[in-house]
Structures are given as structure tokens and as C-alpha cells.
């Protein structure tokens, strides 16, 4: 009989737990996401911060499910709470994986760093899935926090160390993250994104010429918890468009604590009636309706990994404009990119799409074709091969440990 092998996955997502023991998420990955690890492993244990609640949030989805369990870590928000609860957090994170478990760290993740450090100290293998860049996330102007420079330096060094010591490293980008966080020579590496799109995420054909009367609609998607999505830059660019005779309206999908300030900025810029904050919407069809109703997708981010929102917009055949942050240049051509924070350049490139039907049609066809690289059947094969390699490495390490014990008597 073959041995049951569990994979322990560390993530920075925050979940809630109801009195019946069920674990829920509103915005983070749910059970269907973690079930992908079952292609190579028999069980999945998710290590994450968990807060108790009486009832799940509206629209929340289950995280635990068949063969997927959650290992709760004491909940905390921000560095101050983390420092207060650090002893309990460290104990929970380090106890999450048994010697024979496989370990995957979805990085950047302080919890993952604790788990990776424990594995490295005992000579056991682990894998890293690099999904973002703390060097960019904590860059000036991206996150408002008094410890920002310290966090940037510490988390960047930690992620480099994790990748250097890992037996296997997967990246969501094709080159950007690899250059900053290289794997060790001889380590297994892979390139795949968490953005694997089902067939219904794609439109059948590129867009034709716009026929809807009235001002064109821009759409942006992203959390408003921090300024890093650059929506303030987009609002200033929209004001420039109006001032130069290219009126447009904006719909933003997403919510967070920066929203009231952005609403005030829109009003101060005279855009009150031209900007709609749609709030947080469930993934899938509710978001696609806004994408399909828009004329141009705009991603003005100050930092990104490989943005799912942009790829989903491209799959709908939307022309798109983005910044040069993170992995965005791997998705869009140079002519559709602007520097982060440059509202004048953003307004210029957006205007170029809105006033040139030929350019918009070409972008629609190009984006739809590029988005097909993220079809689920394409990325699933890469992920499964990576996970199977990690299972073998974990089994080999366990066999060496048993041999050492036997030889020692």
C-alpha cells in the first residue's frame, strides 16, 4: 500500500472560522484553489491566520473541503499585532508540518518564512511559489507604514533566502521575479500562474468597432486597502482627458479603506458623476459583466506580480493599458505601458486607444491571443509536474532519514 503524503501550504490569506468549525474566505483562495495540490498529494493542510466569527461574511466561500483542512495560526493584523502574538504564531507555524510532509510556501509570506526556516534547519526540502515582490510592495509611495523601509529590506532578504534554500521554486512571471529571487543551481524551477482560466472566461472572438453612443467607459479592478493599485493616478489621468476634450467614465471594481479618500479625490477633480465605485464583487460572471460593458481596461498599479485582473480582462478581448510595474510588461506591449504614478503619460496612452478604433481592435485581438496562454489546461500540466517533483523529493528525503536512523541503530 502506498504511503499517504500530505502537503502543507503556507499562505498570507486571512480566513474566518464559524462555531461549526467551517473555515471561510471572502476575497482569498477557496477550497477549489487548494484542491489543485491533490493532483500530486493525498491531503492538503493550509496554514493561515484564522479569526473566529459568529457567521460567515456575505458572499464568503468555504476554504476547507474534501481532503483540504486548515491549520489555524493566531490572527493578527500588521507588524504591531504580529510582534505581540509572535510566540504563539511561531509555535503554530512551526508545528504545522510533520517530518514526512511536503511543504509549499506561497511567498512572500512571514508565516511561510517561519515554516521554510524550520524545514531548512532540519535538512528537509520545501518548495516556494513566488507570487509577488516585497521589494516593490514596500517601495516609497506604495504602502503607508512607518516601518516600510525596514519591512522592505527584511522581507526582500527573507524571500531571497527562501528561494536560495528551496528544493524547488515556481514563479508566476517569466523572468521578472526570477531575476530578483533566483533559485539555487540545480533546484527544480517552473513557471505557472495561479491565473488558470476556464473556457467560459474567454470570449469567442476579438472586439469590433465600438457602436455604443456616449462617452467610452474605462474599467479597473483591484483592492483599495493600500494605494498600490494606483487608482489615484487613474483619477488624475481621467481629469486630464476631460480637460483635453476626451471625456470618459470610470468604473472601479474593488473595495478597501482607501475608497473614501479616492471618492473625495474624484469629487475634487470634478469627476463626481463620471466615476463609479462598484465595490467588491464575487469572482466570475459579476466581474465579467463590467469588463464586457467597458471599452478599455486600465491597470495603473505601482506594484504587481502577474495580475489576474489584467489577464481576465484580456480574455474578454478588452484593450488594456498598464504600468511598467512587476510582471505587467510580460503581458502588454511597450506602447501600452506607462511609468507608475505618471498621470500625464497614462492619459496620453488611454486617449490613443479611445480615439483610434484601429488601435483598439488590434489590441483586442492581441490581448485575447495572449490570454490563451493562461488557459487552465496549459497551466495545470506545469503545476502538476512541479508538485509531483516535490512529492518525489519529499519521499527521497524521508527515505534518507530512515536509512540514517537504521544505520545509527
Q: Dump pLDDT digits (tens) for 39-72.
A: 999 999 999 999 999 999 888 999 999 999 999 9
Question: Domain check: are 240 and 277 in the same one?
Answer: yes
In a domain, 391, yes or no: yes
Positive or negative: CA dihedral 310, 131, 232, 350: negative
Is 278 or 4 the better-scoring residue by pLDDT? 278
Sheet holding 337-338, edge to edge: 275-279, 249-253, 217-221, 296-299, 320-323, 337-338
Strand partners, 8: 45, 103
Q: How many domains does the chain have?
A: 2
Ramachandran assignment for 4, one of left (phi > 0), alpha (psi -120 to 50 degrees), beta (any other) = beta
Q: Is the pLDDT of residue 262 over 80?
A: yes
Question: What CATH number has the domain bearing residue 30?
Answer: 3.40.50.2000
Question: Domain check: are 214 and 293 in the same one?
Answer: yes
Computed on alpha carbons and rounded to an integer, the radius of gyration of the chain in Å comes to 22
% of the chain residues with pLDDT over 70 = 97
**Cα 331 from Cα 172, distance rounded (Å):** 12
**Residues 112 and 158 sit within 8 Å (Cβ to Cβ):** no
Summarised one tens digit per residue, pLDDT across range 198-226 is 889 999 999 987 666 789 999 999 999 88
Q: Is the pLDDT of residue 348 over 90?
A: yes
Question: Domain check: are 165 and 275 in the same one?
Answer: no
Question: Domain check: are 346 and 357 in the same one?
Answer: yes
In a domain, 72, yes or no: yes
How much is the pLDDT for 28? Answer: 83
With cut-offs at 50, 70 and 90, classify the pLDDT of residue 139. Answer: confident
Question: Domain check: are 215 and 339 in the same one?
Answer: yes
In a domain, 92, yes or no: yes
Q: Name the least confident of 54-58, 124-128, 138-142.
A: 138-142
Q: Is the pLDDT of residue 82 over 80?
A: yes
Q: Any idea what DSSP says for residue 323?
A: E
**Cα 264 from Cα 224, distance rounded (Å):** 14
Question: Domain check: are 153 and 176 in the same one?
Answer: yes
In a domain, 220, yes or no: yes
How much is the pLDDT for 405? Answer: 32
What's the rounded mean pLDDT across residues 71-94? 91
Question: Domain check: are 189 and 240 in the same one?
Answer: no
How much is the pLDDT for 2? Answer: 59
Q: Is the pLDDT of residue 404 over 60?
A: no
CA 248 from chain center: how many Å? 29
With cut-offs at 50, 70 and 90, classify the pLDDT of residue 408. Answer: very low
How much is the pLDDT for 42? Answer: 97
CA 185 from chain center: how many Å? 27
Question: Domain check: are 162 and 288 in the same one?
Answer: no
What's the rounded mean pLDDT across residues 354-378? 93
Maximum Cα–Cα distance across the chain: 83
Summarised one tens digit per residue, pLDDT across range 311-323 is 999 999 999 999 9
With cut-offs at 50, 70 and 90, classify the pLDDT of residue 397. Answer: confident
Is 7 or 58 the better-scoring residue by pLDDT? 7
Question: Domain check: are 259 and 165 in the same one?
Answer: no
How much is the pLDDT for 1? Answer: 41
What's the rounded mean pLDDT across residues 155-163? 95
pTM above threshold 0.75:
yes
Question: Domain check: are 215 and 340 in the same one?
Answer: yes
What's the rounded mean pLDDT across residues 237-241? 97
In a domain, 325, yes or no: yes
In a domain, 118, yes or no: yes
Find the domain containing 141 and state its range: 6-196+376-408
Question: Domain check: are 31 and 49 in the same one?
Answer: yes
With cut-offs at 50, 70 and 90, classify the pLDDT of residue 151. Answer: confident
**Cα 392 from Cα 409, distance rounded (Å):** 26
**Cα 4 from Cα 41, distance rounded (Å):** 8
In a domain, 1, yes or no: no
Q: Is the pLDDT of residue 97 over 60?
A: yes
With cut-offs at 50, 70 and 90, classify the pLDDT of residue 401. Answer: low
Grid coordinates representing 378 are 496549459
First to last CA, the chain: 26
How much is the pLDDT for 24? Answer: 97
CA 80, 85, 86: angle at the middle one, nearest 5?
A: 90
Q: Is the pLDDT of residue 375 over 50?
A: yes
* Cis status of the peptide bond prior to 219, with omega within 30 of 0: no
Grid coordinates representing 251 are 468604473
**Cα 296 from Cα 314, distance rounded (Å):** 10
Average pLDDT, the chain: 91
How much is the pLDDT for 72? Answer: 97
**Cα 169 from Cα 52, distance rounded (Å):** 33
Question: Domain check: are 55 and 185 in the same one?
Answer: yes
**Residues 138 and 151 sit within 8 Å (Cβ to Cβ):** yes
In a domain, 93, yes or no: yes
**Residues 108 and 11 sit within 8 Å (Cβ to Cβ):** no
**Cα 23 from Cα 63, distance rounded (Å):** 5
Amino acid at each position: 500500500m502506498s504511503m499517504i503524503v500530505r502537503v502543507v501550504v503556507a499562505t498570507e490569506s486571512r480566513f474566518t472560522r464559524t462555531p461549526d468549525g467551517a473555515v471561510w474566505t471572502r476575497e482569498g483562495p477557496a477550497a477549489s484553489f487548494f484542491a489543485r495540490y491533490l493532483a500530486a498529494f493525498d491531503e492538503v493542510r493550509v496554514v493561515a491566520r484564522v479569526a473566529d466569527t459568529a457567521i460567515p461574511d456575505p458572499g464568503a466561500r468555504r476554504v476547507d473541503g474534501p481532503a483540504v483542512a486548515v491549520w489555524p495560526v493566531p490572527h493578527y493584523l500588521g507588524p504591531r499585532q504580529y510582534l505581540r502574538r509572535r510566540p504563539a504564531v511561531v509555535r503554530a507555524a512551526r508545528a504545522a508540518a510533520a517530518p514526512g510532509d511536503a511543504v509549499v510556501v506561497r511567498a512572500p509570506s512571514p508565516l511561510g518564512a517561519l515554516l521554510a526556516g524550520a524545514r531548512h534547519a532540519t535538512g528537509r526540502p520545501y518548495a516556494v511559489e513566488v507570487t509577488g515582490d516585497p521589494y516593490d510592495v514596500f517601495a516609497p509611495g506604495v504602502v503607508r507604514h512607518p516601518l516600510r523601509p525596514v519591512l522592505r529590506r527584511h522581507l526582500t532578504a527573507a524571500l531571497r533566502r527562501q528561494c536560495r534554500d528551496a528544493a524547488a521554486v515556481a514563479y508566476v512571471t517569466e523572468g521578472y521575479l526570477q531575476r530578483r529571487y533566483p533559485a539555487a543551481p540545480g533546484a527544480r524551477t517552473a513557471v505557472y500562474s495561479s491565473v488558470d482560466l476556464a473556457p467560459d472566461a474567454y470570449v469567442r472572438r476579438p472586439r469590433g468597432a465600438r457602436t455604443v453612443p456616449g462617452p467610452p467607459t474605462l474599467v479597473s479592478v483591484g483592492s483599495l486597502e493600500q494605494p498600490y493599485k494606483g487608482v489615484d493616478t487613474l483619477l488624475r489621468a481621467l481629469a486630464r482627458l476631460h480637460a483635453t476634450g476626451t471625456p470618459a467614465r470610470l468604473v472601479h471594481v474593488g473595495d478597501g479603506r482607501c475608497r473614501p479618500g479616492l471618492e473625495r479625490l474624484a469629487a475634487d477633480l470634478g469627476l463626481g458623476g463620471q466615476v463609479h465605485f462598484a465595490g467588491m464583487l464575487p469572482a466570475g460572471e459579476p466581474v465579467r459583466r463590467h469588463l464586457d460593458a467597458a471599452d478599455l481596461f486600465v491597470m495603473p498599479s505601482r506594484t504587481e506580480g502577474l495580475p489576474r485582473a489584467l489577464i481576465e480582462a484580456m480574455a474578454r478581448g478588452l484593450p488594456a493599458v498598464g504600468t511598467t510595474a512587476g510582471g505587467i510588461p510580460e503581458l502588454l506591449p511597450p506602447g501600452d505601458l506607462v511609468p507608475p504614478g505618471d498621470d500625464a503619460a497614462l492619459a496620453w496612452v488611454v486617449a490613443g486607444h479611445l480615439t483610434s478604433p484601429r488601435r483598439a481592435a488590434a489590441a483586442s485581438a492581441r490581448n485575447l491571443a495572449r490570454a490563451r496562454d493562461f488557459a487552465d489546461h496549459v497551466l495545470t500540466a506545469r503545476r502538476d509536474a512541479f508538485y509531483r517533483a516535490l512529492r518525489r523529493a519529499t519521499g527521497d528525503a524521508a527515505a534518507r532519514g530512515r536509512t540514517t536512523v537504521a544505520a545509527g541503530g
